[in-house]
Structure 1
Amino acid sequence: MSTKKSRQVKSTPGTENGRVTHHTVRRRSVFPFTAIVGQEEMKLALLLNVIDPKIGGVMIMGDRGTGKTTTIRALADLLPEIDVVADDPFNSSPSDPDLMGDSVRQQVEQGVELPVIQKKVTMVDLPLGATEDRVCGTIDIEKALSEGVKAFEPGLLAKANRGILYVDEVNLLDDHLVDVLLDSAASGWNTVEREGISVRHPARFVLVGSGNPEEGELRPQLLDRFGMHAEIRTVKEPALRVQIVEQRTEFDQNPPAFLEKYQAQQEALQQQIVKAQERLKDVTINYDLRVKISQVCSELNVDGLRGDIVTNRAARALAALEGRTEVTVEDIRRVITLCLRHRLRKDPLESIDSGYKVQKVFAEVFGVQEQKEE
């Protein structure tokens, strides 16, 4: 992954079929990630998923107007540019076979020299009314039969490869489409089959869903498929609310000056993410800690093993983010609620918050003092 500065406005002339101007304008108007006040739980979950996309995405539930979309756009803008094969609909990597479309892989195997460009990480917004064809792509059967070629029209999953796929109001999306998204996010591939013709392409993306609990919850079996679950609430403290309003006003009045103010912090965080991605493979987690994580999952009656796997991954990603190669008990404490709260069986008569319940069992199993949630 390239470590080019994400706030850099200058770009190579002619890249992306002359669409540089569009990217420059869009990039300059994105609120900086490091300027976002509060919502630490959401920011942490997003950063960990960027460091290790195999965590399985984030479900963000919270009140309206709490900055969910702003934060996700800010994260996409913060990320370093990546090397992609020019004019490839799947943002294929020039070096990693798992992130290449079939035609690119074949050309690489044949030793063909492919043109490579640098591109911002794509953030794809999934519209609520999207059809399965729009999401997965379509095969032109007529062309396939008459010309004998696989005429594939890529969908949003192709565009989202190596980027972020954001679904606002995911709890209002058709369950079948949510299933398709989660399957692709878990496997890293999208397969489209029509009339005996099959096309497969890489679809490795960070899936981020958001919703308002007042509008209904996702079905438990779908919720369980999201790696992490962040709950965000409207900031109550008047001084903080004033700070958020003032920042937004300052940004809207003069975006370039506001971005300049946060440029050093943005670049520092970007470098931190890049180093964390490189360090991740060296991070270890002690066997005793792994046993205790599974004990917490067992005592909370979490179905399946997803909770165990995601907690291990998230703890390793956090250690990598903070520049360490060994997971600590504190790392586990900070991620375990995010990884398990949505996997607990709901008891309609129970008034205890699921996050509090996770922290209580964690404190008992790990033999540490219970801490209040941040």
Structure 2
Amino acid sequence: MAASTAAILASTPFSSHSSKSSSFYLPPILGKKFYGGIGVPLKKGRSQFHVSISNVATDISPAQEQVRKLAASKENQRPVYPFAAIVGQDEMKLCLLLNVIDPKIGGVMIMGDRGTGKSTTVRSLTDLLPEIQVVAGDPFNSDPVDAEVQGPEVREKLMKGESLSIVLTKINMVDLPLGATEDRVCGTIDIEKALTEGIKAFEPGLLAKANRGILYVDEVNLLDDHLVDVLLDSAASGWNTVEREGISISHPARFILIGSGNPEEGELRPQLLDRFGMHAQVGTVKDAELRVKIVEERARFDRNPKEFRESYKADQEKLQEQISSARSFLPSVTIDHELRVKISKVCAELNVDGLRGDIVTNRAAKALASLKGRDKVTPEDIATVIPNCLRHRLRKDPLESIDSGLLVIEKFYEVFT
């Protein structure tokens, strides 16, 4: 196509390239609620003590807290490749930034060739994540105001009129390993407390840790089916319900789901693919000069990560400011009724199942307008994001050779012009 990957974000502040593009961009190809204090006597002959269901296991001693803080500081010092230093792959970078600006877009599915920087780009996003207010010591990163993302203990405290200790923390990114067990993902019984104190306490899992944050699954198309079912359930409802050994607990699990993978290694289940708000395709860079630049930058990072990160500090801080500004400006962005009708017409004529495509396209276009500092969505904004929002929702035709992203943009021009 005429437009190169470098022109994708030409009008956005974080692109280092300039472009004299035409008017539109052509993209490349609770069960029962669980509260504390309930005594549950065991039957005779099974145990010498009574088991009481306690609150979620969140009590942390000062020593444990100090160890946790030390571990967190060490983790923050690990060298992460700067987001601003990533060359090319602007489609993937744009999708990630839009989801940070508006988490309700629903995440990103990144598919592409091996060695194209998918995992590196996603993990580099951690430096740019803004801070949010959370209840101190809560394992679910509960919001002190929004009841939809509050854990059971926080809601109980608010019902009793107790005051909450609030702290600022960065949005969390949690890696979901392919070999993780269901108990590790969903949460399970705290065996140590059961043996030492004779109480049943819930030990939160990765879904609890990812609440109000990002859940990243590398090689998501290789994920076991039982974990895919867990993700589907949580992504659909925003809650995780755990039934273990007489305990029934539900906690919020609202997260930005990011997945990456190589299509040659297997297809993704359609139900899970539909849960990703956007789909980014990543290809191997063909330009020799650009490939040399990528190799040189990576070698410079490997030689001295600290010095390399320092050289991009100003660019990283500028990006952080742009994201923070866009997040605060987003509620004031509007989209005309006429444009919303045309978006839905594109979805209808492409036979997109459900209304998720309409919703995501509207949200992504508003997030892009906010990133550009505008309070109104333009057709150019829609043209930029609509292939990423719809290409993975089209019904697959085995006889169709044209890329689904091109089908979307062709229908866009047909409807909008």
Same fold by TM (over 0.5)? yes
Equivalent of 2:75, from 26, 42, 47?
Answer: 26
Q: Is 1:323 the equivalent of 2:373?
A: yes
Matched residue, 2:283: 233
Matched residue, 1:162: 212
Q: How does 1:22-171 map onto structure 2 within 5 Å? A: 22-28=71-77, 29-139=79-189, 151-171=201-221
- Give the letter for the 2:71 counterpart: H
Q: Cα deviations across residues 267-326 of structure 1 (Å, max 9, x unaligned)?
A: 111111112112222211111111111111111111111111111111111111111111
1:18: Cα distance to partner? 4.0
**Normalized against structure 1, the TM-score is what?**
0.88
Q: Cα deviations across residues 89-118 of structure 1 (Å, max 9, x unaligned)?
A: 112223333222111222234343333333
Matched residue, 2:30: none
- SS of aligned partner of 1:166: strand
Q: How does 1:278-293 map onto structure 2 within 5 Å? A: 278-293=328-343
Matched residue, 1:347: 397
Q: Is 1:183 the equivalent of 2:233?
A: yes
Q: Aligned equivalents of 1:288 and 1:179: distance in 2?
A: 38
CA contact (8 A) 1:85 1:116 kept: yes
Q: Cα deviations across residues 93-150 of structure 1 (Å, max 9, x unaligned)?
A: 2333322211122223434333333333221111111122111112469989xx9976
- Give the letter for the 2:310 counterpart: E
Task: Structure 2: state its 5+ residue gaps.
Answer: 1-62
Q: Aligned equivalents of 2:226 and 2:369: distance in 1?
A: 36
CA contact (8 A) 2:174 2:206 kept: yes
1:84: Cα distance to partner? 2.5
**Farther off after superposition, 254-263 or 49-58:** 254-263
Change (3 A) 1:224 1:85: same
Q: Cα deviations across residues 323-362 of structure 1 (Å, max 9, x unaligned)?
A: 1111110010000000000111111111111111111111
1:160: Cα distance to partner? 0.8
- Give the letter for the 1:26 counterpart: E
State the identity %.
72
Change (3 A) 1:117 1:303: same
Equivalent of 1:213, from 246, 252, 263?
Answer: 263
Matched residue, 2:223: 173
- SS of aligned partner of 2:310: helix
Q: Aligned equivalents of 2:145 and 2:241: distance in 1?
A: 22
Q: Is 1:301 the equivalent of 2:351?
A: yes
- Give the letter for the 1:60 counterpart: I
Q: Aligned equivalents of 1:149 and 1:300: distance in 2?
A: 56
- Give the letter for the 1:249 counterpart: A
- SS of aligned partner of 1:231: strand
- SS of aligned partner of 1:92: coil
Q: Aligned equivalents of 1:307 and 1:292: distance in 2?
A: 13
Change (3 A) 1:268 1:15: farther
Q: How does 1:240-255 map onto structure 2 within 5 Å? A: 240-255=290-305
**Normalized against structure 2, the TM-score is what?**
0.79
Change (3 A) 1:141 1:99: same
Matched residue, 2:251: 201
CA contact (8 A) 1:302 1:344 kept: yes
Q: Aligned equivalents of 1:227 and 1:241: distance in 2?
A: 30
Q: Aligned equivalents of 2:91 and 2:65: distance in 1?
A: 35
**Farther off after superposition, 41-50 or 131-140:** 131-140
Structure with larger Rg:
2
Q: Aligned equivalents of 1:64 and 1:16: distance in 2?
A: 40
Q: Cα deviations across residues 27-46 of structure 1 (Å, max 9, x unaligned)?
A: 34111111111111111111
Q: Provide the aligned length of Structure 1 versus Structure 2.
A: 353
Q: Cα deviations across residues 215-268 of structure 1 (Å, max 9, x unaligned)?
A: 111122321221111110111111111111111111222222222221121111
**Farther off after superposition, 104-113 or 343-352:** 104-113
CA contact (8 A) 1:43 1:71 kept: yes
Q: Aligned equivalents of 2:202 and 2:108: distance in 1?
A: 30
1:15: Cα distance to partner? 11
Matched residue, 1:11: none
Q: Aligned equivalents of 1:148 and 1:281: distance in 2?
A: 49
Matched residue, 2:363: 313
- SS of aligned partner of 2:312: helix
Q: Aligned equivalents of 1:142 and 1:27: distance in 2?
A: 29
Task: Structure 1: state its 5+ residue gaps.
Answer: 1-13, 368-374
